[in-house]
Amino acid sequence: MPATDEEDTWVWSQIKAEAKRDAEAEPALASYLYSTILSHSSLDRSLSFHLGNKLCSSTLLSTLLYDLFLNAFSSDSNLRSAAIADLRAARERDPACVSYSHCLLNYKGFLSCQAHRVAHKLWTEARRPLALALSSRIADVFAVDIHPAARIGKGILFDHATGVVVGETAVIGNNVSILHHVTLGGTGKVGGDRHPKIGDGVLIGAGATILGNVKIGEGAKIGAGSVVLIDVPPRTTAVGNPARLVGGKERPSKHEDVPGESMDHTSFISEWSDYII
Amino acid sequence: MPATDEEDTWVWSQIKAEAKRDAEAEPALASYLYSTILSHSSLDRSLSFHLGNKLCSSTLLSTLLYDLFLNAFSSDSNLRSAAIADLRAARERDPACVSYSHCLLNYKGFLSCQAHRVAHKLWTEARRPLALALSSRIADVFAVDIHPAARIGKGILFDHATGVVVGETAVIGNNVSILHHVTLGGTGKVGGDRHPKIGDGVLIGAGATILGNVKIGEGAKIGAGSVVLIDVPPRTTAVGNPARLVGGKERPSKHEDVPGESMDHTSFISEWSDYII
Amino acid sequence: MPATDEEDTWVWSQIKAEAKRDAEAEPALASYLYSTILSHSSLDRSLSFHLGNKLCSSTLLSTLLYDLFLNAFSSDSNLRSAAIADLRAARERDPACVSYSHCLLNYKGFLSCQAHRVAHKLWTEARRPLALALSSRIADVFAVDIHPAARIGKGILFDHATGVVVGETAVIGNNVSILHHVTLGGTGKVGGDRHPKIGDGVLIGAGATILGNVKIGEGAKIGAGSVVLIDVPPRTTAVGNPARLVGGKERPSKHEDVPGESMDHTSFISEWSDYII
Amino acid sequence: MPATDEEDTWVWSQIKAEAKRDAEAEPALASYLYSTILSHSSLDRSLSFHLGNKLCSSTLLSTLLYDLFLNAFSSDSNLRSAAIADLRAARERDPACVSYSHCLLNYKGFLSCQAHRVAHKLWTEARRPLALALSSRIADVFAVDIHPAARIGKGILFDHATGVVVGETAVIGNNVSILHHVTLGGTGKVGGDRHPKIGDGVLIGAGATILGNVKIGEGAKIGAGSVVLIDVPPRTTAVGNPARLVGGKERPSKHEDVPGESMDHTSFISEWSDYII
Amino acid sequence: MPATDEEDTWVWSQIKAEAKRDAEAEPALASYLYSTILSHSSLDRSLSFHLGNKLCSSTLLSTLLYDLFLNAFSSDSNLRSAAIADLRAARERDPACVSYSHCLLNYKGFLSCQAHRVAHKLWTEARRPLALALSSRIADVFAVDIHPAARIGKGILFDHATGVVVGETAVIGNNVSILHHVTLGGTGKVGGDRHPKIGDGVLIGAGATILGNVKIGEGAKIGAGSVVLIDVPPRTTAVGNPARLVGGKERPSKHEDVPGESMDHTSFISEWSDYII
Amino acid sequence: MPATDEEDTWVWSQIKAEAKRDAEAEPALASYLYSTILSHSSLDRSLSFHLGNKLCSSTLLSTLLYDLFLNAFSSDSNLRSAAIADLRAARERDPACVSYSHCLLNYKGFLSCQAHRVAHKLWTEARRPLALALSSRIADVFAVDIHPAARIGKGILFDHATGVVVGETAVIGNNVSILHHVTLGGTGKVGGDRHPKIGDGVLIGAGATILGNVKIGEGAKIGAGSVVLIDVPPRTTAVGNPARLVGGKERPSKHEDVPGESMDHTSFISEWSDYII
């Protein structure tokens, strides 16, 4: 469900209202809130400004990056609607996300993801060296390393985000939630399609490592710290190192909810505890 | 055991002596040592200056942060005594910590923890947007992501620290040692008390993931890479993914020492090796 | 096989040609490419400039670091030949590495490793406070935490690199490939020789934790997410938490290839799948 | 004579060609030339980028200023045509001006004047505090202090420019050349129209001070170091402290040329020497 | 007449009200106004913050300067009352000064003078190298070069200020107005008392040069561009190069008003015009 | 008399000793003194570092400028001996110059002159765009505008320096002292040799303007505020606007001393006073 213009307008007006309230309550933060949010006429401009200032370096100036982001956001409405969907995802799924503006300003997962989308757009336009340079800045600044060729859907929550690695041929569907230290990695030194494909609504717990061109089915759940080298069927749960399907590989347990949205990380404990000595 | 004024004075005089010795031996570093340590009249000022310069950005100026830190440290003596206790913890428990000044200047775990305490103070004073902005800077700069609401004791060693994630309702006792990539995470998207409680003297190995409102008892040890979803009784050891208690859950082995202080990561190997094929 | 002068010249001319081509195709990146590569007369100067600008802070100026790097590289030809060998390693082993210049500019693993070698040189020259300050900057900027005393060979690939931790007495051989979040850690709070020794040609998968003064034999492979507390014989594979040798500890399977070079992360899946429920 | 679109295009293409030639001849400058000129698609963008980076401070970010300049230049074609006319003025009148790009990048008089025009536009749009803040930055960075209310024509050369002061109600016509340290000042502490009015084609020599609401007629010349407190008729020359008309106030000498364009500073020497003892 | 506490409070409340009004009217400036004024609890803090950020360099950090200024202002109430008197002077005497906040933020003469007072305080405390370094920064940033030993009264207006030079043994009284490019210089290479003494209420026009240990009497006026090498009696006017007393040296004209406050620069024109050919 | 190697060594050792003494007495300045002087092994390096940090901008990085300066100083010993001669000139002629290190760090005239010499060297090597870019930085940062083609001798004192303008074909001899706001300007818009030639030992007072290809003879003196359009014979004094020779143009007074060294600005007062009404 793409963000409508109305939704855009509503979310941006929420962000401004939140920032206004916070600026009034906290003068020490007002300068920051005005420069990042309140002085801007649109989410596109606010986000471009914030990313430009976050990702710049002494050799890649903030003005250059700001220009790059603003051009991308204003020429491709998908980028904005994806940003809106990601803001909603954080707000709905993360109880620590107290406001849209908090996510916009402070969530390195959110910011990495928006910057990645611009890098990906550059990649598809055959501006590869620029795309790689931008990805490198994301990796330095946020410790989030997503190859610019990786395809990522909407409604994504990278929670905490530090240490996330997503390889070149990985694909992530819509409404997926991925915790920190998650790897969607390749294997071997041969090119080609070699990274995981993550279906819609998947939840991947902290520190999980998924390697190779495997398919994590729609609505599946990957337990924290799991090492996954195999396909995981839709609506099932894989846990452990190496990862096993909860309920057994022949007739794995299936859950009704969409874990990428419900964020239920530990429903499998009761079943899993059988393995605990 | 809180740091006394005498102890404060002694540690600060040590730090100055170390920095003086190093500045004389290494002119290339003298400018750095003077600006961060030798030009300051107290640990509060030195630490505020260093954190202000480390955590500033183009939209959150060093002068603003310096002011914020200095106000916090000079109005709350607990912050200083906690810093002293943490310095001692690093010096005593980490053989690579060759001096107090090395910890003060270079340990991102130490610096993250002191900055977190200021963010936490802001949080408790209902200055939440500022607390969250500060935590966001800590997460960007040090890759240490501690929610400002999390409560943390004294005598803490975050060793290496990169990738540590501590959730909103987590509590960490005194004299705890936590290695890098450790997660004290929540589960689900419902708010409320949902993160681990870590007792005094606990040691948590690198890459361990502890999820949910579980209780890690006083003096317990969590092996590196463990995924812990259950309570761990005092003075016992949990290892593996999923974590099991060494010695079995009925009569787990108990150790005499305080692992958070002894830093013995691998005493369980002999027992554990039984499980190794 | 050390890099010859001819090889140096060839690699540097490749880098310049790549940068020239990219600058022409992408004006927005040309400024960056000229300042980092095309304005320099040698790889030493380009690398020193780039590292100086990446690792500087408000209290450790870029000019100071540039001077430090340039002095090191121009006085020790081993540093340059190691850089060349690492560039070749990335180019040959990582299919996402599309050019030498991409590695030189954007690979935080490559940059961390070169900066570490300078820190290590300072350490061996008894300039320890400076070595530690430099390592601290590497840890802040790249989230790669290598103790300056650690000894590292040539032809090293730190792939993605975020979260790598290498302890004081660790030794890494030649032609080793190490993925992100890998820990070569110590145990206990006693000093002395307490970190892993990694043989030539080893491959260590993402998130693996190796603790203590254990020996990972030449050509061994450590699976992603493994927790290794024991010696691993040459040409064998250890996987899991705790890590077991594939094929069993009595007669472990031996592979013919050099995993550090072949980058085959998952050859053990077929054998391993026996353990998967 | 306003700059036509064709002229715009031609001047911008000249600038790019000059910068390209210089970048090829001087790799050390190429990064600078690409970031300021060669990476931009128009003079507006190049100028906005350059002014944003020159005039920014830690509390007025380059991205904010860049945005401000770009909005002004793209919404008001008079600003661009005035810039073109000023570039031509420098190129034609100043023998030390070797290229358009040299003027665009390096002439503080040119840059101050363009930035002033934007400040003036803000002033007329009743955005006075912003206009004053921008003027203050011009005064700090270039030591050129022009009140944002002052009205300035086209084809202006501020040569060297350091120390120029232009008051609130001053008016400067077209094709005027003004050297450094020139003051167009007020008198008294009463508001209202109190500053000089400079006609078209006037030349004002270095260090001249013109005070009060006096009229410097079209094509007049003011000698270096003069202090002018009276009206100066068209095509006449005033010199000295206090300034006298060359030839006497009753029948002053008249010149044929336009001194603001011919730049003849010293034609009056022969006549003046009569006064020299 | 020293500023009273009440006056302090009133001026500061005016400044805050002005800044609040401007921030509301101009979102693009709000961030600047909050960081410089609205986030601060006192004029001391606002001024220290602003000067610290204006005068810092890569080798003299803003945090260090902020600390220095704040310590000076909070330990010496004369500095604050002088600042208040100077703000009032600008507001009353300069018709272009539309608000106190405009002066505080944008007047390089005002800012130079406040920073000079701190440098002078350091000088009198025998912290001479620091005083000289601070003066050097004022000279670089504002092009205002006042020796830290020079003694300056209260109620001073340095209008425009660029190019002002005040020597080591110069003394400036109260309620003096000095325009830009004014020199109070020495003569010869011998030390000792060798610079001008400027009485209360003096007005010195733009570009005037006063050399040597001469006395400019209380309420005197020096015309723009004058070169003064002699004493000027109280309430008289000196003009020209070399400067002559208006009315003749035997019985010079005397004025009733205080030119440093009335700012009447040109009352002498009628008399002077006699000399104009 | 060129500086000998011995003299170099002695001056550099003085500078280090002064800086060491000041660093010990003033901890707040120690960081600055170590980074600019005490961490360097030679005057060349110290000066290159200081100039690189002073003159850098966001588009001309300090590392690039440092490299440029260091290459120039280490390849051309004349640059160093000229710097030494200028340091001595300031120390001997300016009673406010309390130490060599004060001049090296804080005198914008000294720093501008050294940077100009490097720009001039680039100019003579046909690296004109780079020379012009460097001169532009000097003009922005120090408000000293010297064309890179201008030829300047040794033993130069630019006292205060703000506002000095020196044109393309100007020549300045040895042991010249020039105060602030002095212009050595051209006339007309025709190229060719059009700027003043200043002989050895000349003293030019504050605010003097010398225009055209005129010759100021060896040992001549130009009074403050003078406007000089004619040749001035050796050992004579020109004062006033327009400048007249003291003693009359037929038989001007001749002085014995070298004013550029004696710094006697006002010896002519007694004679001049005859003209004062």
pLDDT tier at C77, thresholds 50, 70, 90: very high
CA-to-CA distance for C155 and C166, rounded, in angstroms? 17
Residue E56: per-residue pLDDT? 97
For the cut 50, the answer to whether the pLDDT of residue A1 exceeds it is no
Q: Check residue D271 and give its pLDDT.
A: 60
Output DSSP code: residue A216.
E
Per-position DSSP letters for C23-74, written without gaps between them: HHH-HHHHHHHIIIIIT-SSHHHHHHHHHHHHH--SSS-HHHHHHHHHHHHH
At A120-177, the pLDDT tens digits run 999 999 999 999 999 999 999 999 999 999 999 999 999 999 999 999 999 999 999 9
Mean pLDDT of chain F: 93
Distance from CA of E51 to the nearest CA of F (A): 17
Mean predicted confidence (pLDDT) in F248-265: 90
Residues of C in contact with B205 (CB under 8 A): 209, 211
Please answer yes or no on whether A31 and B64 come within 8 Å at the CB atom: yes
* pLDDT tens for each residue of F51-92: 999 999 999 999 999 999 999 999 999 999 999 999 999 999
Q: Which residue of C has its CA nearest to F62?
A: C63
Whether E52 and E66 have beta carbons less than 8 Å apart is answered as yes
3-state secondary structure chain D: CCCCHHHHHHHHHHHHHHHHHHHHHCHHHHHHHHHHHHCCCCHHHHHHHHHHHHHCCCCCCHHHHHHHHHHHHHHCHHHHHHHHHHHHHHHHHCCCCCCHHHHHHHCHHHHHHHHHHHHHHHHHCCCHHHHHHHHHHHHHHHCCEECCCCEECCCCEECCCCCCEECCCCEECCCCEECCCCEEECCCCCCCCCCCEECCCCEECCCCEEECCCEECCCCEECCCCEECCCECCCCEEECCCCEECCCCCCCCCCCCCHHHHCCCCCCHHHHHHHCC
Predicted confidence band of residue A277 (pLDDT cuts 50, 70, 90): very low
Contacts of A68 in chain D (CB under 8 A): none
CA angle C163, B223, A220 (to 5 degrees): 70
Q: Which of D57, D58, D62, D65 to mutate to test the interface with B (most CBs of B within 10 A)?
A: D58
| Contact residues, chain B, for A246 at CB < 8 Å | none
- Across F173-183, average pLDDT: 98
For the cut 70, the answer to whether the pLDDT of residue F275 exceeds it is no
Residue in chain D closest to F207 (alpha carbons) equals D207
Counting residues of chain B whose pLDDT is more than 90, the rounded percentage is 88
C39, C45, C61 ranked by CB distance to F35: nearest: C61
Residue D272: what pLDDT?
55
* Coil, strand or helix at F216: strand
Distance, CA of D241 to chain centre = 24
- Can you give the pTM of this predicted structure? 0.95
Q: How confident is the model at residue D237 (pLDDT cuts 50, 70, 90)?
A: very high
Among candidates D111, D94, D136, D91, which has minimal Cα distance to D46?
A: D111
* Assembly ipTM: 0.94
Residue-wise pLDDT for D103-140, tens only, equals: 999 999 999 999 999 999 999 999 999 999 999 999 99
Q: How confident is the model at residue B6 (pLDDT cuts 50, 70, 90)?
A: confident
The pLDDT value given to residue C3: 55
Radius of gyration over alpha carbons of chain F, in Å? 19
CA–CA separation, A210 and E5 (whole Å): 68
User: B176 pLDDT exceeds 80?
Assistant: yes
User: pLDDT digits over D57-67, tens only?
Assistant: 999 999 999 99
The rounded percent of chain C whose pLDDT value lies above 90 is 88
Question: How close B43 comes to chain E (CA, Å)?
Answer: 15
Search chain A and give the residue with CA nearest C259. Answer: A188
Q: Do A31 and E31 touch (CB under 8 A)?
A: yes
CA nearest to B138 within chain A: A106
Averaged pLDDT, F256-262: 91
Model confidence at D270, pLDDT cuts 50, 70, 90, reads: low
Contacts of F270 (CB under 8 A, 6+ apart): none
Q: Measure B244 CA to nearest chain F CA, in Å.
A: 53
- The H or E element containing residue A157 is strand A157-159
Instruction: Please give the Cα distance from A49 to A104 (Å, whole number).
Output: 12
Give residue B189's pLDDT.
73
pLDDT on residue D269: 64
> For A242-251, F48-57, F185-194, which range has the lowest pLDDT when averaged over its residues?
F185-194
Task: Give residue-wise pLDDT tens across range C128-148.
Answer: 999 999 999 999 999 999 999
**Residue for token digits 């916090």?**
B72
Sorted by sequence, the CB contacts under 8 Å of residue B120 that are 6+ apart come out as B131, B148, B149, B150, B151, B152
**Residues of chain F positioned with their CB less than 8 A from the CB of E57:** 53-54
Based on the number of CB atoms within 10 Å of its own CB, is B169 exposed (0-12), middle (13-18) or buried (19 or more)?
A: buried
CA A85 remoteness from chain centre: 11
In this predicted structure, what is the pLDDT of residue B275? Answer: 45
Task: State the Cα–Cα distance between residues C105 and A132, nearest whole angstrom.
Answer: 10
Quote the pLDDT of residue E272.
55
Mean pLDDT of C20-47: 97
Determine the distance in angstroms separating the CA of B29 from the nearest CA of chain F, rounded to an integer. Answer: 8
Give the residue from chain B lying closest to F33, CA to CA: B31
Span D209-220, pLDDT tens digits: 999 999 999 999
E66 to B63: CB separation less than 8 angstroms, yes or no: yes
Within a 10 A sphere around the Cβ of E273, how many other Cβ atoms? 12
Q: Do C26 and A212 touch (CB under 8 A)?
A: no
F270 pLDDT band, cuts 50/70/90, is low
Test A34 with E39 for CB contact under 8 angstroms. Answer: no
Chain segment A19-56, per-residue pLDDT in tens: 999 999 999 999 999 999 999 999 999 999 999 999 99
Would you say residue D16 has pLDDT above 70? yes
Query: Which structure tokens are listed for E206?
Result: 């733009």
pLDDT at D1: 47
List, for residues C91-140, the tens digit of each pLDDT value. 999 999 999 999 999 999 999 999 999 999 999 999 999 999 999 999 99
- CA B12/CA A268 separation, integer angstroms: 50
Percent pLDDT > 70 in chain D is 95
Residue A50: closest C-alpha in chain D: D63
Q: What is the mean pLDDT of residues D24-29?
A: 96
Q: Which residues contact D69 (CB under 8 A, 6 or more apart)?
A: D47, D48, D51, D52, D115, D118
User: Given this model, what pLDDT does residue A161 score?
Assistant: 98
pLDDT of residue A6 exceeding 90: no
**Shortest alpha-carbon distance between residue A40 and chain E (Å):** 8
Q: Do F31 and B23 touch (CB under 8 A)?
A: no
For chain E, 277 residues long, give each residue's pLDDT as a single digit of tens: 455 778 889 999 999 999 999 999 999 999 999 999 999 999 999 999 999 999 999 999 999 999 999 999 999 999 999 999 999 999 999 999 999 999 999 999 999 999 999 999 999 999 999 999 999 999 999 999 999 999 999 999 999 999 999 999 999 999 999 999 999 999 877 789 999 999 999 999 999 999 999 999 999 999 999 999 999 999 999 999 999 999 988 899 999 899 999 898 777 666 655 444 3
Q: What is the pLDDT of residue C187?
A: 80
> pLDDT tens across D153-178, in order?
999 999 999 999 999 999 999 999 99
CA atoms within 13 A on the CB side of A205: 34
Tell me how far apart the alpha carbons of residues A184 and A171 are, in angstroms, rounded to a whole number: 9
